[in-house]
Amino acid sequence: MDMIDIPLLFSAGLVIGFLGTIVGVGGGFIVVPLLTMGYHFSPQYAVGTSMVIVALNALSGTSSYIRQGRIDYQTGILFAVPTIPGSFFGAYLLQFISRRQFDFGFGLLLIFIAAYLCVQISTSNEHIEGAVLPRPAYNKPLGIGISFFVGFLASMAGIGGGVIHVPAMIYLFGFSPFIAIPTSHFILAFSATLAAMSHAFIGEVQWGYIPFLGVGVVLGAQIGGNISHKIHSNWIIRILSVIIGMVAVRFLLKSF
């Protein structure tokens, strides 16, 4: 690694940590392209190294949200548990599915989610105001099923599940983004840490990059978590829709 890469990696980590914490995602959709295209990592090492960074991001951002009292722990634990078997099932099934087919299908799914967010952004104001609302009476079996699906997709794609959990919690279950985003980050702290440990165990982490990306991510996540409540929720949803669109383009381009 050249010395010039150190400030670049640190700066990239700051952006990933800040943006990932603001919208409740881990930032793996940025880390993986950075490592594969910028540093010519193999997919296995890119995903393994990315999951360590995502875990650091989620743990740092979650600590900030804990101090603010914005996490719904009951919902977070309920949704975190099903991501574990989902991730194992996704890793197993990936052996039998064409990567090109998956990239194309997942890209289309994310485009649909981004479009849905854009349409819904001006509706349901009671769900997008910054005030802390009581926990809604949501469909728990559906939430558990979605969380299993999130674990499954995250395991196959190497990204965090916030791009699914956050819009599901807001528009399907009626949570405020003020609570949905921190709770999604809390869920991600569990799932990403377990995934990172698995990749580390089988030797798919390039540890030399972790200190520089990791320090930036941890600091960026703290900054994002501390100012997230000062940003209007509509802008958070807009940022989320743009990020989902970027991820969709990445997957679609890879499918051709």
CB contact at 8 A, 158 and 48:
no
pTM: 0.79
Give residues with Cβ within 8 angstroms of 229, minimum separation 6.
68, 70, 130, 178
Give residues with Cβ within 8 angstroms of 241, minimum separation 6.
114, 117, 118, 121
Q: Is the dihedral of CA 38, 105, 15, 91 positive or negative?
A: negative
Query: What's residue 91's pLDDT?
Result: 66
Kindly provide the b/e burial profile for residues 103-124, where b requires at least 16 CB atoms within 10 angstroms of the residue's own CB: bbebbebbbebbeebeebbeee
| Mean residue pLDDT across the chain | 81
- What band does 151 get if pLDDT is binned at 50, 70 and 90? confident
Annotate 89-145 with DSSP letters as a single string: HHHHHGGGS-HHHHHHHHHHHHHHHHHHHHHHTTS-HHHHSSS--PPP---HHHHHH
Burial of 63 (0-12, 13-18, 19+ CB in 10 A): middle
Question: How far, in Å, CA of 16 to CA of 222, rounded?
Answer: 11
Query: What's residue 30's pLDDT?
Result: 80
CB contact at 8 A, 195 and 154:
yes
**Lowest model confidence (mean pLDDT) among 122-126, 139-143, 189-193, 198-202:** 122-126
Could you state, in order of their start, the residue ranges of all structural domains in the chain? 5-254
Q: What is the mean pLDDT of residues 17-30?
A: 78
> Radius of gyration (Cα) for the chain, nearest Å?
17
CB contact at 8 A, 68 and 225:
yes
Question: How far, in Å, CA of 163 to CA of 143, rounded?
Answer: 14
pLDDT greater at residue 240 or residue 164: 164
CB contact at 8 A, 82 and 88:
no
Question: How far, in Å, CA of 218 to CA of 232, rounded?
Answer: 23
pLDDT in tens, 85-142: 887 787 677 667 776 787 788 788 788 878 866 765 554 444 444 445 567 888 999 9
